[in-house]
């Protein structure tokens, strides 16, 4: 699974992730009350110039943002139906500017820098006993397992097509779900066999009880099956 | 269920939501030029199967990874940009939808699983989700609330189908793996 990050050297890559996120937040505060189409066009030009700064790859990334066209078509269409086309144009300009700015941050910020910058947002998760280690493991599992489940789904689809001659069906989600759950069990077993995603590290107070905890986990897992 | 198993189940469901965005399994007929994504099906499933807390955590994990720049949203979208689209209300509503769906499953524990899941999916995945999504459109796209609601009507039939699909899928999973329906344990 490939992220949207663009490996390159540019002035934008050098700006710390936290600053970029802060700038985006400020930009959204400033842009929302703006009602002058010419000022908004200028803002759009500024965010487009960010892509130009990234060179040819930046322009290619811009072309890949087809989702934006769909969003703008939706907004313009909605306003056209409601009879407020001018507002629609203003909104479309603003949304395009903000969407392009936000995507620019994603393009120029490495994923671990982004995790670091978003750490304050994650703090509430640690209050309910979710350690950073466990969160990192969860993120890694999702990124690893999404393509695996997509692959399972395509196999089910192929088998279904071979049997029935028809394309995929919603009913295939049920066996897909069962297969994913079986995979989850294997991962959980493998995790338990390796001592689990224990939040406490050896050497910490209570660290001596770790081995017992490990066996306890395995016992509990057996009774759960 | 140990904490580790719980973690793995949450992660697998988050991955499942992402995978549904890539699989054309559930691409329903296109209405009004706007493709209907299967991702809210994944949200309903997470709530219905994992229960309120784990279900909401799975959806939050999914959204966090999307925000990090992994293109897991339908159509290969990802990054912070998706939170600046008119559909942001739906993204904010996703974890709440899973939470309510899971809580409804708890309440309806004694009901037959198809009925319980159908009702939970409609309440969580449609009513609650729209309650976040429609004001989101109205604010981001500067339309009136009725205008935004009218814009959403095209999606309603697809979402009702998805609620039925969720009920059928959870019923089938319950037959194969009753231990995986954590919301009814």
State the ipTM, two decimals: 0.89
What is the nearest CA distance from A9 to chain B, expressed in angstroms?
A: 18
Q: Are A157 and B23 in contact (CB under 8 A)?
A: yes
Distance of alpha carbon B96 from alpha carbon B63, whole angstroms? 12
Contacts of A53 (CB under 8 A, 6+ apart): A10, A11, A12
B78/A3 Cβ within 8 A: yes
Q: What is the pLDDT at residue B51?
A: 94
Could you tell me how many residues make up chain B?
Answer: 185
Distance of alpha carbon A78 from alpha carbon A181, whole angstroms? 41
Contacting residues of B for A118, CB less than 8 Å apart: 64, 67-68
Distance of alpha carbon A110 from alpha carbon A12, whole angstroms? 12
Q: What is the pLDDT at residue A127?
A: 73
Residue position matching structure tokens 């904490």: B3
Nearest to B141 among A75, A148, A225 (CB): A75
Share of chain A above pLDDT 70, in %: 85
Nearest to A106 among B62, B79, B173 (CB): B79
Q: Are A137 and A187 in contact (CB under 8 A)?
A: no
Q: What is the pLDDT at residue A5?
A: 86
If you average pLDDT over each of A184-198, A210-224, B59-73, B117-131, which comes out highest?
B117-131
**Domain formed by B3-184, architecture:** Orthogonal Bundle (1.10)
A168/B24 Cβ within 8 A: yes
Q: What is the mean pLDDT of residues A182-194?
A: 90
Q: What is the pLDDT at residue B97?
A: 97
> Average model confidence (pLDDT) for chain B?
87
3-state secondary structure of B159: helix
Domain residue ranges in chain A: 11-117, 128-200+210-224
A69 vs A224: which has the higher pLDDT: A69
Q: What is the pLDDT at residue A77?
A: 86
When scoring A184, A186, A193, A220 by the number of chain B Cβ atoms within 10 A, the one with the most, hence best to mutate, is A184
When scoring B70, B160, B181 by the number of chain A Cβ atoms within 10 A, the one with the most, hence best to mutate, is B70
Residue A218, pLDDT above cutoff 70: no
Distance of alpha carbon B116 from alpha carbon B51, whole angstroms? 13
Q: What is the pLDDT at residue B8?
A: 93
Distance of alpha carbon A87 from alpha carbon A84, whole angstroms? 6
pLDDT interval class at A181 (50, 70, 90): very high
A43: left (phi over 0), alpha (psi -120 to 50) or beta: alpha
Nearest to B15 among A91, A142, A157 (CB): A142
Which of A127-131, A184-188, B16-20, B31-35 has the least mean pLDDT? B31-35
Query: Token digits for A66?
Result: 């087809």
Nearest to A146 among B72, B143, B180 (CB): B72
Contacting residues of B for A90, CB less than 8 Å apart: 142
Q: What is the pLDDT at residue B86?
A: 85
Query: Token digits for A79?
Result: 């306003």
Q: What is the pLDDT at residue B22?
A: 80
Q: What is the pLDDT at residue A199?
A: 52
Q: What is the pLDDT at residue B123?
A: 97
Distance of alpha carbon A117 from alpha carbon A50, whole angstroms? 21
Angle at A21 between CA A18 and CA A24, to 5 degrees: 150
Residue A205, pLDDT above cutoff 60: no
Q: List chain B residues with pLDDT less than 70.
A: 24-37
B83/A78 Cβ within 8 A: no
Q: What is the pLDDT at residue B25?
A: 56
Contacting residues of A for B34, CB less than 8 Å apart: 70, 74
Q: What is the pLDDT at residue B119?
A: 97
Distance of alpha carbon B58 from alpha carbon B40, whole angstroms? 13
CA-nearest residue to A69 within chain B is B85
Q: What is the pLDDT at residue B101?
A: 97
CB pairs below 8 Å between A and B: how many?
A: 225
3-state secondary structure of B77: strand
Q: Compute the half-sphere exposure of residue A197: CA atoms within 13 Å on the CB side of its CA.
A: 22
Q: What is the mean pLDDT of residues A204-219?
A: 40
Distance of alpha carbon B171 from alpha carbon B112, whole angstroms? 9
């Amino acid at each position: 699974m490939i992220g949207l990050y663009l490996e390159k050297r540019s002035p934008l890559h050098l700006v710390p992730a936290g600053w970029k996120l802060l700038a985006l937040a400020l930009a959204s505060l400033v842009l929302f009350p703006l009602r002058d189409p010419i000022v908004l066009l200028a803002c759009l030009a500024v965010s487009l110039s960010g892509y130009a700064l990234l060179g040819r790859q930046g322009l290619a990334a811009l072309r890949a943002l087809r989702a934006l066209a769909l969003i703008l078509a939706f907004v313009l269409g909605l306003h056209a139906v409601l009879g407020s086309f001018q507002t629609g144009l203003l909104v479309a300009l603003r949304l395009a500017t903000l969407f392009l700015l936000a995507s620019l941050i994603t393009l120029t910020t490495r994923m671990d820098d982004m995790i670091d910058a978003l750490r304050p947002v994650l703090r509430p998760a640690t209050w309910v006993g979710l350690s950073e280690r466990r969160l990192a493991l969860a993120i890694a599992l999702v990124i690893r397992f999404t393509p695996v489940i997509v692959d399972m789904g395509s196999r089910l689809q192929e088998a279904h097509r071979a049997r029935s001659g028809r394309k995929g069906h919603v009913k295939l989600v049920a066996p897909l779900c069962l297969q994913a759950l079986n995979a989850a069990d294997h991962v959980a077993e493998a995790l338990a066999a390796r001592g689990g995603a224990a939040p406490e590290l050896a050497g910490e107070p209570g660290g001596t009880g770790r081995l017992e905890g490990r066996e306890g986990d395995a016992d509990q897992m057996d009774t759960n099956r | 269920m140990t904490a580790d198993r719980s973690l793995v189940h949450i992660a697998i469901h988050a991955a499942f939501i992402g995978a549904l965005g890539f699989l054309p399994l559930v691409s329903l007929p296109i209405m009004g030029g706007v493709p209907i994504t299967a991702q809210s099906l994944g949200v309903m499933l997470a709530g219905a199967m994992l229960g309120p807390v784990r279900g909401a955590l799975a959806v939050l994990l999914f959204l966090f990874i999307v925000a990090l720049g992994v293109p897991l949203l339908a159509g290969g979208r990802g990054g912070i940009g998706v939170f600046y689209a008119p559909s942001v209300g739906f993204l904010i509503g996703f974890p709440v939808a899973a939470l309510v769906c899971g809580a409804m499953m708890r309440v309806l524990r004694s009901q037959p699983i198809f009925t319980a899941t159908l009702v939970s999916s409609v309440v969580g995945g449609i009513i609650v989700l729209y309650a976040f999504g429609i004001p989101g459109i109205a604010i981001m796209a500067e339309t009136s609330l009725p205008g935004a609601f009218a814009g959403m009507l095209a999606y309603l039939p697809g979402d009702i189908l998805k609620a039925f699909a969720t009920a059928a899928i959870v019923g089938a999973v319950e037959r194969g793996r009753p231990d995986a329906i954590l919301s009814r344990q």
